[in-house]
Amino acid sequence: MDIKLDPSRDDLPLMANTSHILVKHYVLDLDVDFESQIIEGTLVLFFESGNRYRKKSSSTEETCQSESDEACKFRMPEPCHVPVTNTRTFSSKMGYNDFAIYGKGEKDTSGKDGNHDNQEQASGISSSKYCCDTGNHGSEDFLLVLDCCDLSVLKVEEVDVAAVPGIEKFTRSPKLTVVSELRNQIVHELVTLPADRWREQLDYYAHCSQAPGCGELLFDTDTWSLQIRKTGAQTATDFPHAIRIRYRTKPQGRSVTWTSDQSGRPCVYTMGSPINNRALFPCQEPPVAMSTWQATVRASASFVVLMSGENSAKPTQLREGCSSWHYYVTMPMPASTFTIAVGPWTEVKPETCSPSDQAAKRSFSPSEADFRCASICGHVEYPCRFQNASAATQEIIPHRVFAPGCLRGACQEMLLQLVSPCLSAAHSVLGTHPFSRLDVLIVPANFPSLGMASPHIVFLSQSTLTGGSHLCGTRLCHEIAHAWFGLAIGARDWTEEWLSEGFATHLEDVFWAKAQQLAPHEAREQQELRACLRWRRLQDELRNSPEPLQVLRPSKEKTGLVTDSGSSVIKHGLSPEKGFMQVHYLKGYFLLRFLARRLGDDTYFSFLRKFVHTFHGQLILSQDFLQMLLENIPEEKRLDLSVESIFRDWLESSGLPQPLQTERQAGAECGLARQVGAEVSKWNRVNRRPRKRKRRGTKEVFEKLLPDQLVLLLEHLLEQKTLNPRTLQSLERTYHLPQQDAEVRHRWCELVVKHKYTKAYRDVERFLHEDQAMGVYLYGELMVSEDARQQQLARSCFALTREQMDRCSAQVVAEMLF
């Protein structure tokens, strides 16, 4: 498919200069205002100089002097409509909810403070523009660069951590007379406290975040970044290691979605934007910037605040009609994994409490005695569950389910029953759960995918709740798998998405088979059937996608390399097409399946547990996994396998991997797929029968099919040139297709559109309204048909959903329709 990719449009810049300075902890203090659709407040960042992941690429060392010069034209902040400083006397008794609350004002759409807003620059920027040198140049001041977009930054100031009562315990050098050096030493001692003092550390972070300011800092913004400097601070070591940023989001900001839930009530949530969280708060986006965080969020008392956090937060009433929620995380992770959802969610509770639920309630909180053996882990020190003997045996972690009130019954009937067995299945395969608890939220209808995993919280689409438990169970297993692959173990270079999605796709089948307690032969049959479906999907996707987007390791030998400053560019990170592609899921899945078959399942999963224990809490590249795997393969099974051959055949080439083609051509069709083949033959006979027959023939008897078998059946029937209305009507009635899960209904809608089966257009309309995560492709089919009625159906459905639809999806659909 000949689609030209434009780097200035498709590549995502990571601007933060993480090679010089790293954020170790964020303290967010935010107000959520639904009337103005703005989140406003303060962010305090605690820094440490240096980066242990720093690697330089000579090919990406290009600097842009014009950009650098422009960035250094700083302005002192103009007066804002918020108090300049917090003039309250600091008290050690202040709690997390004692932050000042400022007025909201009107919805921010015009960017009145143009002096500080991110400038909406035109596209057409070359990739090298993003690779700016922000290091020290002789007498110039050090420049801190944070990833930032669609934010109004109001004020930046240094925080006087030395003013915090009791903080003198962190001043080891009495000889220090320079106050700025003293403050930085305090921060250094604070961020490097041992893991068994994590509670004390969080308390001091909170107290320091409320300390008074001690001088405003110069700042400026451009399209993708916030740049900050302090006059006279010429190196990262001299730069203040604790700063406070006062800012507000914009209603059109791309990191969060303001919408209505299925009950018609307002809500806001982070939906996994391609630009991640830089339009929610200024941060260091590169994954090497592993940090912890704590957040206090205030909202109307009628709303529930869910967030990536180790604690199951409860609301604190501040005043009538306003509540505050506080969450924290002690495991360092990339800022991109931070997630928040604020809405009128209802907690769905079981009618009766099962023994497994009782066991899950026994939460294992970190204690000083639990974390003494940091040397057994390869990550930076934190309160790690892999070192906690009690956590290691915990099959089911504490969990909660939230949803809009109107979906409470569906969640109680299906989703709530699946969480415990899926968590238990995951533990039986991989061992210790990396996270201490889990919230599952059914998000609004405009959520652009079936699911998304973040630390301690999983978002699921409402599309997973229809039909039987199959789609809901498999998707839940997929997101649970991300706790290990994607979160506890992350990709050091975001272009290697297969390290997250390939693993989760491969593991979802294994988890789901165990959750259903299938016999080994049944599990194999179901997994072979899913492999058959994915093979068809991969072939179709490769036929209809640009070749550059088919490569799992597009940067090849430059993967993981950054500029001197730490900035980099994520190749194709903003490509509109990429958001709707599954190549990294499917190719990654088939690579892992290929390797598991080569080793044998028992050996492979034993190795996987070993790999998790070795690399949890760390960032990896493809070679880290492959090298360790090959070291564990006996010589007689390794044959021609090497890291280089896997790179060549699987990760660095477009199209179908040759080993996969060979395997699929040689493999026999599984029993479940053969059964579908027999049913297809029956339907073809039905379709060929004349409308009026002189004598009654033998009536076809159709077998009951599994959901995946139904998907395969409908895909085979889609290959038929014509299906008459009688056949389609019989098909609909035989399998009750409008009541099946979303995967089955999607194929049914494709059949309806292809054959212009007008009696079932209502099913297409329903799908486009209720299953927006999967409906984009159908809009294209409706328009390609060049049928006036179908095109009108597409336009009318889009008109009804456009305002609530995910921005990227709406843009793609609009291009199809107009």
pLDDT band at 465 (very low <50, low <70, confident <90, very high): very high
* Residue 142 predicted with pLDDT over 80: yes
Residue 413's CB: how many other CB atoms inside 10 A?
A: 12
Active site residue 635: no
pLDDT band at 700 (very low <50, low <70, confident <90, very high): confident
pLDDT band at 355 (very low <50, low <70, confident <90, very high): low
Question: Stretch 481-508: mean pLDDT, rounded?
Answer: 97
pLDDT at residue 180 in the model:
87
Strand 225-229 to strand 144-147: parallel, antiparallel, or no bridges (unpaired)? antiparallel
Which two tokens mark 533?
């479906």
Look over the chain and give the mean of its residue pLDDT values, rounded to a whole number: 86
Select from 701, 699, 709, 700 the least CA-distant residue to 675: 709
d(CA 65, CA 323): 48
Which two tokens mark 774?
């999967």
What is the signed CA dihedral for 225, 226, 230, 232, rounded to 10 degrees?
20
d(CA 752, CA 797): 16
d(CA 679, CA 338): 47
Residue 697's CB: how many other CB atoms inside 10 A?
A: 9
pLDDT at residue 730 in the model:
96
d(CA 811, CA 468): 32
Q: Identify the residue with better confidence: 509 or 133.
A: 509
How confident is the model over 56-93, as pLDDT tens digits?
A: 433 333 333 333 333 333 433 333 333 323 332 333 33
Do the beta carbons of residue 306 and residue 326 sit within 8 Å?
A: no
Q: Which residue has the tokens 């991109």?
A: 336
pLDDT at residue 668 in the model:
84
pLDDT at residue 577 in the model:
74
How far does Cα 294 stand from its chain's mean position?
A: 19
Question: Stretch 326-353: mean pLDDT, rounded?
Answer: 94
With 0-12 CB in 10 A as exposed, 13-18 as middle and 19+ as buried, what is 603?
A: middle
Cβ neighbours for 563, distance < 8 A, ≥ 6 positions apart: 19, 56, 57, 60, 61, 62, 131, 132, 133
Q: Which residue has the tokens 């960042």?
A: 45
3 state DSSP class of 418: helix
Which two tokens mark 46?
């605690």
Which two tokens mark 514?
């165990």
Question: Stretch 385-393: mean pLDDT, rounded?
Answer: 94
* Residue 6 predicted with pLDDT over 60: no
d(CA 2, CA 544): 9
pLDDT band at 450 (very low <50, low <70, confident <90, very high): very high
d(CA 550, CA 545): 7
* Residue 281 predicted with pLDDT over 70: yes
pLDDT at residue 354 in the model:
60
Cβ neighbours for 282, distance < 8 A, ≥ 6 positions apart: 43, 146, 147, 148, 151, 153, 226, 245, 247
Q: Which residue has the tokens 């205002």?
A: 33
d(CA 422, CA 79): 54
Residue 643's CB: how many other CB atoms inside 10 A?
A: 15
* Residue 136 predicted with pLDDT over 60: no
Question: Stretch 126-153: mean pLDDT, rounded?
Answer: 70
pLDDT at residue 697 in the model:
60
DSSP state of 281: S
Question: Stretch 674-698: mean pLDDT, rounded?
Answer: 84
d(CA 462, CA 459): 10
pLDDT at residue 291 in the model:
97
Residue 461's CB: how many other CB atoms inside 10 A?
A: 26
d(CA 800, CA 768): 10
* Residue 612 predicted with pLDDT over 80: yes
Least confident of 303-317, 622-636, 729-743: 622-636
pLDDT band at 644 (very low <50, low <70, confident <90, very high): very high
pLDDT at residue 99 in the model:
28
Residue 86's CB: how many other CB atoms inside 10 A?
A: 17
How confident is the model over 10-66, as pLDDT tens digits?
A: 889 999 999 999 999 999 999 999 999 999 999 999 999 876 554 443 333 333 333
pLDDT winner (highest mean) among 34-48, 353-367, 803-817: 34-48
pLDDT band at 150 (very low <50, low <70, confident <90, very high): very high
pLDDT at residue 139 in the model:
60
* Residue 759 predicted with pLDDT over 50: yes
Q: ∠215-219-221 over CA atoms, to 5°?
A: 160
pLDDT at residue 128 in the model:
32
With 0-12 CB in 10 A as exposed, 13-18 as middle and 19+ as buried, what is 805?
A: buried
Least confident of 92-96, 381-385, 677-681: 92-96
* Residue 369 predicted with pLDDT over 70: no
Strand 489-491 to strand 618-620: parallel, antiparallel, or no bridges (unpaired)? parallel
> 3-state DSSP: the chain helix, strand, coil percent, rounded to 5?
40, 20, 40
d(CA 605, CA 631): 15
3 state DSSP class of 211: coil
d(CA 433, CA 113): 46
Q: Which residue has the tokens 């405009």?
A: 446
Question: Stretch 672-681: mean pLDDT, rounded?
Answer: 97
Concatenated DSSP letters of 14-66: E---TTTEEEEEEEEEEEEETTTTEEEEEEEEEEEE--TT--B-GGG----HH
pLDDT at residue 56 in the model:
40
HSE-CB at 123 with a 13 A cutoff on CA atoms is 8
Which two tokens mark 163?
């003013």
Question: Stretch 508-521: mean pLDDT, rounded?
Answer: 97
Residue 458's CB: how many other CB atoms inside 10 A?
A: 24
Polymer length in residues for the chain: 818
DSSP state of 125: -
As a whole number of Å, the CA-based R_g of the chain is 27
Cβ neighbours for 451, distance < 8 A, ≥ 6 positions apart: 458, 459, 460, 461, 464, 475, 476, 478, 479
Concatenated DSSP letters of 544-591: TS-GGGG-SSTTGGGTT-B-TTS-EEETTTT-TTGGG--HHHHHHHHH
How far does Cα 520 stand from its chain's mean position?
A: 32
d(CA 737, CA 728): 10
* Residue 679 predicted with pLDDT over 80: yes
DSSP state of 343: E
Residue 323 phi/psi, 5-degree rounding, is: -125, 160
pLDDT band at 102 (very low <50, low <70, confident <90, very high): very low
d(CA 250, CA 268): 13
Question: Stretch 447-466: mean pLDDT, rounded?
Answer: 96
Helix (H) or strand (E) holding 220: strand 218-221
DSSP state of 413: I
d(CA 224, CA 219): 14
Cβ neighbours for 103, distance < 8 A, ≥ 6 positions apart: 81
pLDDT band at 368 (very low <50, low <70, confident <90, very high): very low
* Residue 464 predicted with pLDDT over 80: yes
pLDDT winner (highest mean) among 559-563, 591-595, 806-810: 591-595
- Quote the crossing angle between the two packed helices 583-599 and 498-515, to the nearest 10°: 60
CA dihedral (522, 528, 529, 530) positive or negative:
positive
pLDDT at residue 177 in the model:
64
Q: Identify the residue with better confidence: 582 or 171.
A: 582
Question: Stretch 338-355: mean pLDDT, rounded?
Answer: 88
Select from 768, 769, 748 the least CA-distant residue to 759: 748
Catalytic residue among 479, 508, 541, 652: 479
How distant, in Å, are the alpha carbons of 164, 169, 238 from that of 174?
17, 11, 18
pLDDT at residue 363 in the model:
46
Helix (H) or strand (E) holding 477: helix 470-481
Q: ∠438-441-443 over CA atoms, to 5°?
A: 155
Cβ neighbours for 638, distance < 8 A, ≥ 6 positions apart: 630
Query: What percent of the chain clears pLDDT 90, i.e. is strictly above it?
Result: 75
* Residue 157 predicted with pLDDT over 60: yes
